[in-house]
Amino acid sequence: MNMERVSRVMDNLEKLGMGQVLVADPMSIWYLTGYWNVPYERFYALYLARDAEARTTQATLFCNRLFPDASQTGARVVTFDDTEDPVALVAEATRRGEPLGVDKVLAARWLLPLMDARVASEFHLGSPAVDDARSIKDARELDLMRAASATNDQAMAWLRSQLHEGVTEHEIASGLLAEYRRLGAQDHSFTPIVSFGANAADPHHEPDGTRLRAGDVVLFDVGCKRDSYCSDMTRTFFFGAKPSERDREVYETVRRANEAAEAIVAPGVTFAEIDLTARRIIEDAGYGSYFTHRLGHQIGLEDHEPGDVSSTHDEPVRPGQCFSIEPGIYLPGEMGVRIEDLVIVTENGCEVMNAYPKQLTVIE
């Protein structure tokens, strides 16, 4: 049990007016306890309750008996089998006269019976308490994030080397996992995006049988998971021919938006201000309606974590937070450009984790 992390969660929970929470997200349970389990359809949750006077926290882990041994977590482990009702066991642990925080992963087939059993006086969303704690990475987490991004930089060089006329998007995407593993990563952090030509105008295009032709734009949006932490980066190239003046303008507008947004990241600057900095550059160039998504997302144990970089997120950024800066311009039926880096907020600015070059590149 990582009591420093647990303490941060409980401090956050108190600010939300609660002293107990039921965490059902397996990744958050791992983050707090070091215990990993995939429950599939079975009930699985970590119950945390703080004694307000003693400032101590009770931890109870509810596990089916077929799950791996959890005795080393430091939590009180309550086990059950497939014929037992875990709701009744939770009811024995909770403080029924107080509100209970539940996280966003808790399925309705468990939440509704818990509500019917009146295991708490009220039920509120408790996920923000955990999400906020996970948002601030400690020194070891930051080193792992840097290592994952360094691996992704190396993989981008491999992706570029695979480009030749006639190769398909799917052929390149399907070979990436082996390269990641050769470089020391364990998995993709998300399904890779490989887009040629007009397909790059779809921000979430899935690789298909489209073949690369001279004159195509090539967009790679890829990430690996290394030692549990994720990377994410996008680079856009031009293949086989020099880009037109308009294509060059689109590319340079996106690059300027990316770099301008990164330049203002510092504690106290809001996520909304960062988004606006990039968006204004694209709008001023006349492409505002073609930038169709938020500027970025937080990242860590999962590729997309709560707390986006958007016009509606008015919170200031804080040291230790990691998020993407990924402006794009997408011209339907023609082409698209996106340039994405990950940044770490430092005490007086930010660190860009990706070193792969961003200058306009034509691959002959």
Q: For 331-349, how does the pLDDT look when each residue is reduced to its tens digit (9 = 90+)?
A: 999 999 999 999 999 999 9
Among the residues of the chain, which ranges form H helices? 3-15, 26-33, 86-93, 108-116, 127-135, 139-161, 169-182, 245-264, 271-284
Strand partners, 224: 188
Q: Tokens for 312?
A: 């509606």
Q: Does 54 score more than 70 pLDDT?
A: no
Greatest CA span in the chain, whole angstroms?
70
Environment class of residue 36 by beta-carbon count within 10 Å: exposed (0-12), middle (13-18) or buried (19+)?
Answer: exposed
Residue 211's SS3 state is: strand
Q: Which tens digits make up the pLDDT trace of 183-226? A: 999 999 999 999 999 999 999 999 999 999 999 999 999 999 99
| Weakest mean pLDDT among 11-20, 47-56, 137-146, 254-263 | 47-56
* Cut 0.85: pTM above it: yes
Please state, in angstroms and rounded to a whole number, the distance separating the CA atoms of residues 319 and 347: 6
Under 8 Å between Cβ of 330 and 200 = yes
Under 8 Å between Cβ of 264 and 274 = yes
